[in-house]
Every structure is written in C-alpha cells, then in structure tokens.
Structure 1
C-alpha cells in the first residue's frame, strides 16, 4: 500500500529546508588593496541565523591552488577590514568564512581574491549602430571587479567617458558623424576598493568604403577603412580575421529597410561585392563581422552611393518551351526590372538536334514574358534551349536551359492508344503537372486527364473512324508563386501515317542523282494533302518552299550555290488516314 501523499511531501520539505538551514553563509569578500607594505582586505558581513557568532576566519596562500593556512580569526562581528603585512609585495591569495556555533552545518567559503589589481578586460571591437559607437569587451576574470570605466584616447590624453556596472558593452551617444573613425577607446576594470586594472588595448570604429557603380562597372566592391590620429598613425584597430569568422553585407535600396545581400566566410580580408545595383538606385550598405566564439557582431559605418551605370543585363528564369503546330517554338520567362537600354540576343540549343546558335532572334525579347520564333526550329526529346543576352558593356546575362515536352503515341492491338512524353525540364524549383488532350481536325483540344505527374497515359476508348490525335500540356508553377505557365507538346496521331524518309545530308555534286537534291521520300506521295516542305538557314531565313511532294531543294539560293553547312527543314502534311504529321530537323549541305 502506498504511503499517504501529504506526510510524504512534509517529509521532503523538511529534508530540503533542513539542508538549506544547515549552511553558514560566507562574508561578501569585496576586494584587496595594497597600502604601505601591507594588503588591506575588505568585505561585507552577511547575516546567519544558525547559532551564535564566534569569529571571522581569514585564510591565506601563496598560490591560487593552495595550500591555504588560517591567517587570523577576528572575534568582532562588525569587522569589515583586515591588514596583512606584505613588505615583499608578493602575490597572495585569500578567502574568508565564518565560525558559528552550528554543529553539523556546512561552512561556505567566500570568493578567492589575490593581492594584485584586477586583470585587464579584453576589448574586442567598436561597432557602429545608427551612427553611435558601441564598445564590446569580455569581462575581467578577476571576481572582485564590480564596474568598468570607458576611456577615450585623444591627442592630448586619456579621458573617462563613463563608468558602468558589470556589463560588457557601452554605447556612446551624441557624437557628430564627422571624424567617427578617428575616435579611439579603451576599457579598464575597477573593484570596490578603487583598484583599477591596466587599460585595455585601443579600438576604433571600422569604416566601409566602396568602388564601382559607375558606367559599365555595375558591381560595387567594398573594402575596410580605418581612421588615423593627428600624427597620421593608424589606431590600434585590428582587422584580423580567421577562416571561422564570416562577413555579411546588408543593403538598403532607395531608403528602404536593410536586408542581407551576401554572406561569406572570412579568409584574410575578403572583398565583398554587390551585383544587384540598378541605374538610378540610391543604395546604402554596412558590413557585419561575425567573429567565431563571440556573441556580438561588429558593424561598420554606413557607405552610401547613387548608382549611375549603363543598366546591365541580368540572369533570368526560363520556365519552358512549347512546340507549335507549325514548328515554331514559344518560350515563357520572367525578366526582372529594370530593362537594359540595348542588348543582343542569342538563342542557344543543345541536345540530339545538335548544337545551334540563333543570333538576334528577338531584339525586343525583354519587353514581354513570351516569345515565339519567327521560323520553325528543330526540337526533339532531350533538346534544350536557353537565351544569352549581351549588353553594350560586354556583360552577359543568361537564362537556364529548358526542354520542350515531346509526345509519342502507339496504337495497341486492342484499339487503345498508349501515350508517353518527355518531362518539362527547366532546372527551376517548382511543381509540374500534365494534362492530356485529344486534338480535333480543327485544332480544338478536349481534355482527357488533368493533374498528372506520370509521363504516360492510356486512352483505352479512342473514337472510331478517324485516327485519334493528341497533345500534352505541361503546367509549371514556380516555387513561391501562384501563377502557372503552360506549354503544349508536339501533336501526335496514332494511326499509321504515310511513311516518310528524310536524308541528313546531300551534295549537289554527288555521283548519284538521288543524292544531289534534298527532299522527303514518301512511300505513297499521292496519299498526301496539305503538303508543305520548307528549308531555312540557321537564322530563320527561308531559302526554299514547295507544296509539291516530288520537288526538292538543289542547294541554291537565288541561282547561286548556298554555302556548305547545316540547314533547318520543316515538312507538314496530312496522310490519307487524316493523320497530321509534322517533321523538322537539320540537313547538312556538302561539297
């Protein structure tokens, strides 16, 4: 059976309170001071209710680790000082306790103090907060220290600024910003006996300077700035960093609040650079230094600048690529304001279709969030595209690579249509889902499935009669945004179309006549309708077009031989089964 709860609690409280009462508190040992060959010990008495007072005992040793011997027992309960002769000026160590008539009580000892003055506090740095210097230091390890004096070092002497309690920072207010970097400060520790420690090292505020932000130099690079005394000497304001320290740059744009711009580990004195400046911005900066092992951070003075630059091009996100029915490509992207005044545009392609560079494809690319190429461009699964912008200063900005969704379809023996497609790739954080559409002859789209994350779909009941055609739409939502960007795949029909073969090279001087002209080769050219075959140069210029399935390009342009190289083709037609077919690619002209 469990014991009653109330008696148990009373027993526990009795034990706890009994232990607390069975202690004899020690005197409050305040300090020592050297005077005429002796050491004056000073303390404040502490009341004890345990028995009668019998004496105050003083112990001494010549080492902090002892051994300690009883030096004296004072029987006057009001005594608060004692003189110990020390003509040799040795460093001696003392502690005190009381002798009370309290049998069995634990006697507590005071702090152990030595006969020397307090140890100097370690001053770390002077930070600048809203134009005021803030001095930071580590407390003196001497237990007798009860306050600190802040000192300013001038050309004519050292003068006290203020005396504070047991804190480790002090803010100097009411100063003019002029000459702030030339102000120099020390800290000293004091005890209750009036002893003061040696003064700390000198520390001064750290300034921030910068260069750049003019003309074509759109980046701003920062460097530390220290003040000087009247003799031209740099104050003892160290700027020594280790790899464990770090620096963080903060920026205010056009009077707004400060926000972190960049942070990097410190190695030596690293150069911080700000690359987000726009023409006409009014920017202000400061740097905070995070010293490893310290709770406080040093902040520099503020550096401000009005930006007067040729607006640079910037990197920007390209959300995706769409393959149009006519073979042209549609791009959707977001470019940050403001826009550069002038720039050149290059569309780059990589992947199975081969590397491609299309210059000045969109002279006004950045005026909107969407661009459609003027001419068809080849695009197959795993092809990727990106934009490269170059401004008048030779600075470049690029988009990420993005790949289109390429759809393939297979007619199963059951009559069902099996669809699969490549993923919309852009390397950006966000979510992508897919919608499968059935494509009608008039190009209208009927949704079959939405919100898919898989890359395949089975249409197990396609319509009878005409062969079914399909497109897949990718919906991409960038992380942290509500807007979605959609991109359609190439159209695909599942009925077997008229077979077509397209060579990848030809030569007007080939030995065989069939290799001297470039044209599609069909299994049944009479079974075609809506036929068009076109050839373009790599910049989108049309070199040849025909609606005759038997006609081809002989490699000439306006009666003259075109240069050897790579050319883009597009062929579209509808087969006898009413399947819409669109093929594009690259052909090589050889001599």
Structure 2
C-alpha cells in the first residue's frame, strides 16, 4: 500500500481465480502479486500490478427525520448528504426491529430530502424503518437511524376515564423533547389536553367535568398524540411524529338517589336520575305512589319530580320509580326501585 513493504492480504483456495479487496481507502496506491503454493511446497509468483484509487463520494450521513401518520398511511422523511455521487439507497422496513425487507429504492443525487409514503402499512401496528446506502458493488455502506411510527391505544374504564397508551419513539438523534395529547369529541376540532416533556407513555383522561357540564355528551372520545424532537439535531432537523387516531367508548352511567326533600331549599328538591352517555331518545321515567298510581311521568331526561301530586306535596313515605333508557349503542336498559321523600 502506497509502495510500502509487502503484506499478506489473504489466503484463498487454489481453485480461485478472482478476489475482491474490500474497504480500500480513497486516493491510495495499491500493488498486488499472487503467489501459488503447491502441495509439495513449490511456489510461483505472478507479475506485479498496481492501482490508484479515486473513489466516488459515498454518503457520509443519512438522517431519519420522522415517521408520522398521515391520511391512514405512514409518511417518512430522510435528510441526505448532497455531496454524495454514489446514491444507491434502499428503504427497509421491519415489524420486529430485527428482520428487515426492502420496500422502495431511491437513486437520485444532489437532493437533500427523500420522502416516502408507506400505503401498505397498518397504522395500528408498529414498524421500524431505516434508509440504507449501497456502494457501486452493491455492498451496504451506511444505515440511517431508526424511525418508528407511534401506535396509540385508548380504553375506557369504570372511573369515567379513558386510559391512553403509546409506544416510545425511536430514535431521533437529539432525543424526544415533548408529547402533546389531543382529544376529539363528536365533530369538534381537536383539543390539546396535555403538553409536557416526554417520558411517560400513558395518560388518564378524566371525563368527569365534561359529563357534569354536558350530561348528553357522546360516549365516543377519540385521541391522537404528537411527539417532537429535541433541539440539537446535527443536520438542523427537528422531527415531529403524529400517531394514529384511537377511540374509546364509555358505557352508560345511571345514578338514582334513594331519598329527596322537596322543601324549597334548592338542595335535593327534585327527584330525577343522573345519567351520562344515555340517548335522549327512548327515555321514560315514572314515579308511583304506594298504591301503584303514576304520579309523575316524563320522556325528557332533564326533567324530574318536584314532589307534588295533584298540585300538593305528596306525604312523606316510600315511593317507587321505573326507568327505561337507551344506550348510545342502541340497547335498551330498565331499572326499578324505591326511594323516600321527607320534609326536614
């Protein structure tokens, strides 16, 4: 190498008639001789041949900017070395982060960005992507950092909360900076409900205040999250990744008190069920006296019994009720019981 002393490069089978010297250095002189050795130890040496390497420029870097969900597909962006003159790239995808398959080729030099939309991906599954550079001999020379999509899952619980879980993002060069959680209710615009530094991959969304302010609110709550990259990416990129939209469905809640006191103090003056995630249609609420007579009836879930029968307050004692309602998924439910009225 560079006309220095001779060194043994490799030993190969005697039947070989070609050899690839890998990982040669650029702008360097290399001289070669072949020496054959017989089984008896006799040798034969070839002539000397020399080469000077003047290699094309391979990419010095590939940055995976982001993998993000757009229009039910996964959109990817990569920042490339614009000085490269060998621009043979393959986009690799994996479901386990170990076994990769090529899904696209890119062979353009001088462009700073390569973007690709993976329309075959299921956005509710996690994928690992990387862009791989090959030399003119089709050998892998450089791989980008990994880019993974974010998969969000949402589940309702009995505490009028929705639990959100998502996978950690891999793997921005500057690390993950912040997480933003958005909620979508009915046809309203997405509402930012959480903005914090990254770290946690779960969140409980307490819906109590929403239900109290609007008892007829839908039971369907949808979410998506966005993650952002820290400042300091060496290629002046700040990645941003959006998850799939995940929805949770709250089940109907009905609470009926066991007593009330219609004495005009504005505390427990009206007897009515408290409902959440119940359809306005198909609602029936009835109150009976001790002899089974209907003394109050309504199909309006916002109305309740004021304690009067025939224009006068009913006497203290035990009464019965019957409630029929329809859940937001179209199923009917019934509930019956007793309660007490008293005048303190």
TM-score, normalised via structure 1 length: 0.30
Which has the larger Rg? 1
TM-score, normalised via structure 2 length: 0.48
> Taking CA–CA contacts closer than 8 Å with sequence separation of 6 or more, which of the two structures ends up with the larger relative contact order?
2
